[in-house]
Structure 1
Amino acid sequence: MLWSVLKIIAFVLAVVALTFGVGYLMESSDVLLVTVAGREFALTPLSGVIAGLALLLAVYLVLRLLGLLLAVVRFLNGDETAISRYFNRRAERKGYQALSEGMLALASGEGRLAIRKAERAEGYLKRPELTNLLVAQAAEMAGDTAKATQTYKKLLEDDTTRFVGIRGLMKQKLVAGDTDTALKLAEKAFMLKPQHGEVQDTLLRLQAGAEDWAGARQTLAAKLKSNALPRDVHKRRDAVLALAHARDALAEGQIEAARKEAGEANRLSPDLVPAAVMAARMAIEEGKPKVAAKVIRKAWDAAPHPDLAAAFAGIEPGETPAARLKRFRVLFARHPDDAEVKLLEAELNIAAEDYPAARKALGDLPETAPTARSLTIMAAIERGEGSEDRVVRGWLAKAVTASRGPQWTCEACGHVHANWQPVCEQCESFDTLAWIEAPQSESALAGTAQMLPLIVGALEDRSNMPEVEATVVEDAPAPDAEPVIVDVDSEAEEQDRDPHAPGHMPPDMGEVSEQVESEETPRATAN
C-alpha cells in the first residue's frame, strides 16, 4: 500500500516538473548552436528538446533493426523460430502474464477466471501443452466436466502431455464410478510412467477390485522395484494376492494351482491367518497332518485365532473331547494369558463336560473383558454345573448387549465382514481387514439396554413356573453322557467347522445360543 502511494506521488511530481520545464523552454529567447560535420545549426531550446527526442527514436529504431538482423542470422543458422520469437516477444510477455494470472486464479479457487486467463494466454502463446492443462483443471474446479474431458482429450494428441491427459481422464472415470474404463486408462498410464506412485496405487486398487490377481502382483512388484514400498509390506500384500488367487483356483476346481498358491501365500506371510488355514487344510487333504500342524503352530505363535484352532481340530476330526483337549495343550502353552486361548480351553473343557476346569480356564474374562462369546460360555458352565435357570438366563441377558469381540474389520471404514476378504466390500480398500474388535453403535446398545428389564423380568417369571423347571431339568446334560463328536470335513469352508472346535459352541452351548437368539427377537420386533 505504501509503495503504491509513493509511486503516485512520484508520478505527480514528474508531471509537474515536466510542465514547468516545457513552459520555461517556450519562454526562453536563448539560441542553441549545434555543429555537425562542419555545419552549424541554430536551435531554440524547444527545438533542441525535440531534436533530442528524435535522436533517441532513431537510436531505438537502429537497435531494433540490428535485433532483426541478428534474428535473420540465427534463422539462417538453423533456428527456425528465431524470426517469429523476435516479432512475438511482446505477445509472449502478455501471454505469460495471463498464464501466471490464470494459475493464481486456479490456486485461489476461481475456476471461471482461470479459464478466461488460460484462453487469453493461449491466444498469445500458442502453447496448448501449457494452457490446456490449466483449462482442464479450472474446468474441473468450476464443475464443467464436459469441457474438462474435451481438454484432456486434446492433451492426448501431444507426446509430452499424453500422460497428463490419460491421468486426468482416469480420475474423472473414478469419480463417475466407471471402474472398468478407469482400469484401462490406469494400465495405459502405468505403461507410460511405471514409477508414478499415484498411478501404481490406483492401478493396484482397481486390479484387486476386478480380481485381476496376476496383474496386481506385477504392479506390486513394480512398486517394490521403484522403492515405493517397503519389502516387508510387499511380502505381506503379495501373500494376500497369492491367497486370493488360490481361493479362485479352488473355486474353479484347479486343486494343484490352489495348493501351490496357498503354500506361496503362507511362505510369504506365515502370520496371515487365512493363508495358514488354507495351506493347512490343503495339507490335510493331501494326507500330511504333520505339515498342517506345523503351519498352524507357526501362525499361532504370531497371534492365536479361532480359525487356526478350527483347522487344528480338523487334523484329527474323529478324536474324543478328552483326546482333543490333550492335543490342544501344545497351543495353550504358547500364549497362556491370551483371551483367545482362555476361551478355547474353556470351550474344550465344556465339550469334555469338565465344567470346573472350564470355569478355571475362563478366569475373570466375563468380568474384565465381557464379550458375547465369553458370557455365553459362562452361561453354558452355569448350566452344566446345575445352576438355576435364572442364573443362566442372567448371563445370556448380559450377552445381548456385550461386544461381539474381535472380528474381521476394515481399518479404513470400520465395516465388519463375516469372513476375511482381500478387498473391503464396503470401501473397496485393499488389504485393510484386521482381526480387531469393531466399535459398537451406541444407539443400538441403548435400544437393547432398554429391553433388558423386560427380558430379565420375563425370564424370572418363567423360572418360577413348575413346568419350565421340569423342562430345564430334562434338558440338563447327564453326568455320564457321552459327548457327540462331529467330524470336520477338511474341504469345508470356515463356517462348516467341528462343533467341538474352538470358536464353535459345544452341544450345551448350542442350546444356550438358541436362548440368546430367542431373547434378541423381541428387541428386533420392538424396533
Structure 2
Amino acid sequence: MLLSLIKILVFVAAVAGLTWAAARLTDVTGGAEIAMAGYEVTLGPLQLVLAIALLALLGWLVFKALGLTLALVNFVNGDDTALSRWFSRSRERKGYKALGEGLIALASGEGDTAVAKGRRAERYLRRPEITSILVAQGAELTGDHKTAESAYRTLVQIDRTRFVGVRGLMRQRLAEGDTATAMALARKAFELKPRHVETQDTLLRLQAEAHDWSGARATLDAKRRSGALPRNVARRRDAVLALSEARDVMDDTLDIEAREKAIEANRLSPDLIPAAVLAARSYLAVGNTRYATRVIRKAWEAEPHPDLAQVFAEIAPEEDAQARLKRFSTLIKARADHPETRMLEAELLIAAEQFNEARRALGDLVDTDPTARVLTLMAAIERGRGADDAVVRGWLTRALTAPRGPQWVCENCHNVHPHWEPVCSNCHAFDTLGWTRPTESGTTLPRGTEMLPLIVGGGVGRAEPSVPALRDAAPTASPLPAHEAAAKAPEPANGKPVDEAEIVETDPSARPEKTEADAMAEGRK
C-alpha cells in the first residue's frame, strides 16, 4: 500500500515538473535558427527540445537496426548470437519436454512411445549420452533387440557412457546364450568399473562356467578388495575355486600341481567337504596317511558326511571289520550324536556281526528320522538277527518310499545333484550347493548301493540288484566293502537266502503266513 502511494506521488511530481518546464519554455523569448542547403528553420524553445528528443530516438533506432543486421550476419555465419541463443532455448524446451514424456512412458511400460520420444529428444537436444539410454531401454521393453543394440553401440562410443553401453551389450549376449562374447564384454566392463558388483558377479559366474578358475580367483579377489564380499565368504569361495581347479587338473594327471591345489583348497576352507576329500586322497596318493587322517577328522568335526567316511576307509582298505571299527572310533567320538555318525557306527557294527549293538547305535533314528538309509540299515540288522523274510521285506518296503535324507541341494533353485559341483547345473549359480535335505522329495539320489547285497542275500561276487527301486534304496555309500559284509552276513533262520526277486514277489502262495502289515509292525518294535 505504501509503495503504491509512493509511485503515485512520484508520477504526479513528474507530470507537474514536465508541465512547469513546458510553461517556462513557452515564456522564454527567442529561439534557434537552423540553416542547411539554402533552407532556414527557426525553432522556438519548446520546438527545439522536441527536435532534440526526436533526433535522439531516431539515432537509437538506427543503432538497433545496425545491431540487428550484424546479428543476422553472425547468425548466418553460425556464430553465437542472441538470435541463435533464442532458437537454442526453444529447442531445449522442446527436447527436455520430449525427454520427460519419454521417461514417463518408460515407467508406464510404453516402450514404443519411449523410443519415439527419445528420438524426438535427440533431434532437439543432440545429447546421445542421455537420449540413447532412453531409446535402448524402451526398445528392450518392446523386444526390439536390434534398435537396443544400435543405441548401446552409440553409448559405447562416448567416454561417459561407455560402461553403460558395454553392460547393455553384455546383457543382450547373455540373453542370446552367446557366453563367449558375453565374457569378453564382461571383462571389458570389469576393466571400466572394477567395483561394480553386478559386473563382478556376472564375470565370476561366466568364468566358473567356462572353468577359467584362475581368472575367477582374480575376479573374486577384486570383489573382496572392493568390500563387496565378507572375508569369510570370499575365503570359502576361493577354496571352491581352488578345489575346482584341482579337480580339473586331476582329470588329466595326478601331479604335484593338482595335489598342491587340493591341499590349498582344504587350507582355505577346512569344512568344505569336497576339498577335504580331495586333499585326503592327495595325501594318500603319496602315502601320507597321517595328514590324510588329520584332514578327515577336522572336516568330520565340522560336518559328518558319508564321503568323508568313504575316504577314511580308503586309508586302510585291507583291514578287517574289528580293526576298522576301532580305527573309526575317533570319528564316532567326535560327533557321537550326529545322525550320520550313528548310521556310520551301525554300518561298521553290522560288518562286525554285532547286530544288537548296531540297533542300539541307530537309537531313535527309526522314529525321529526314518530316512531310506536308516530303514535299509534296519533291514540289514533284522536279517543279521535271523528275522523272518517278511520282516526284512517290511523294512525294505518302507525304505523304498522314505525320504532320502540330506543331499547336495542348490540353495538358489533347490535342484538336487548326485555329486557336489561348483556351479549348479540347473540355474548356473556359483557356490550354492549345500549338504541339506531337499524341500521336496527328489528323484536324484547320491551314489552307492554297497549295503544292498547284505540285505537281499547276495553272496560274494553277486551283481547289483536288478530292481531299480532297490538300487536306489541306499542313498549314500557305505565305508564297508560290500563283498566283505555280504560274506559275513548270516543266513536267516530257515537257512534259505532271500533273493532279489523275492522282495517284489506278488504270488500269495510264495508269501509267509504273516501279513506284511504284521511284519512292518514287528520291524518297528
Q: Same fold (TM over 0.5)?
A: yes
Deviations along 1:386-423, whole A, 9 cap, x unmatched? Answer: 00100110000000110111111111111111111101
Q: Which one has a bigger Cα radius of gyration? A: 2
Higher relative contact order (CA 8 A, sep 6+): 1
SS at structure 2 position matched to 1:160: helix
List gaps (5 residues or longer) in structure 1: 1-32, 43-57, 445-471, 482-494, 522-527
2:423 aligns with: 423
1:150 aligns with: 150
1:458 aligns with: none
CA contact (8 A) 1:376 1:513 kept: no
- Distance change in 2, residues 1:513/1:140 (3 Å): farther
Shift of 1:507: 2.4
Deviations along 1:443-500, whole A, 9 cap, x unmatched? Answer: x9xxxxxxxxxxxxxxxxxxxxxxxxxxx999599xxx9xxxxxxxxxxxxx997751
Aligned CA-pair RMSD: 3.9
Shift of 1:515: 4.3
CA contact (8 A) 1:313 1:498 kept: no
- Distance change in 2, residues 1:208/1:174 (3 Å): same
- Distance change in 2, residues 1:87/1:308 (3 Å): same
Shift of 1:516: 9.8
Task: Tell me how far apart the structure 2 counterparts of residues 153 and 167 of structure 1 sit (CA, whole Å).
Answer: 11
Task: Tell me how far apart the structure 1 counterparts of residues 455 and 167 of structure 2 sit (CA, whole Å).
Answer: 71
- TM-score of the aligned structures, taking structure 1 as reference length: 0.72
CA contact (8 A) 2:204 2:219 kept: yes
1:370 aligns with: 370
Deviations along 1:322-351, whole A, 9 cap, x unmatched? Answer: 011011111111111110000000000001
Write the mapping of 1:400-439 to structure 2, written as runs, cut at 5 A. 400-439=400-439
- Distance change in 2, residues 1:363/1:497 (3 Å): closer
Name the amino acid aligned to 2:190.
F
Name the amino acid aligned to 1:181.
T
SS at structure 2 position matched to 1:434: strand
- Distance change in 2, residues 1:124/1:404 (3 Å): same
- Distance change in 2, residues 1:182/1:517 (3 Å): farther
- The number of residue pairs the alignment matches comes to 420
1:191 aligns with: 191
Instruction: Give the stretch that moved more between structures: 231-240 or 80-89.
Output: 80-89
CA contact (8 A) 2:306 2:477 kept: no
1:133 aligns with: 133
Task: Tell me how far apart the structure 2 counterparts of residues 272 and 82 of structure 1 sit (CA, whole Å).
Answer: 73
Does residue 228 of structure 1 match 2:234? no
Name the amino acid aligned to 1:111.
G
Shift of 1:41: 12
CA contact (8 A) 1:111 1:139 kept: yes
1:500 aligns with: 480
Does residue 389 of structure 1 match 2:423? no
Percentage of identical aligned residues: 54
Does residue 91 of structure 1 match 2:91? yes
SS at structure 1 position matched to 2:328: helix
1:454 aligns with: none
Task: Tell me how far apart the structure 2 counterparts of residues 282 and 300 of structure 1 sit (CA, whole Å).
Answer: 17
Shift of 1:280: 0.5
- Distance change in 2, residues 1:90/1:333 (3 Å): same
SS at structure 1 position matched to 2:304: coil
SS at structure 2 position matched to 1:439: coil
1:329 aligns with: 329
- Distance change in 2, residues 1:208/1:349 (3 Å): same
- Distance change in 2, residues 1:505/1:232 (3 Å): farther
- Distance change in 2, residues 1:90/1:370 (3 Å): same
Task: Tell me how far apart the structure 1 counterparts of residues 501 and 368 of structure 2 sit (CA, whole Å).
Answer: 21
Does residue 182 of structure 1 match 2:162? no
SS at structure 2 position matched to 1:333: helix
2:517 aligns with: none
SS at structure 2 position matched to 1:161: helix
Shift of 1:501: 6.4
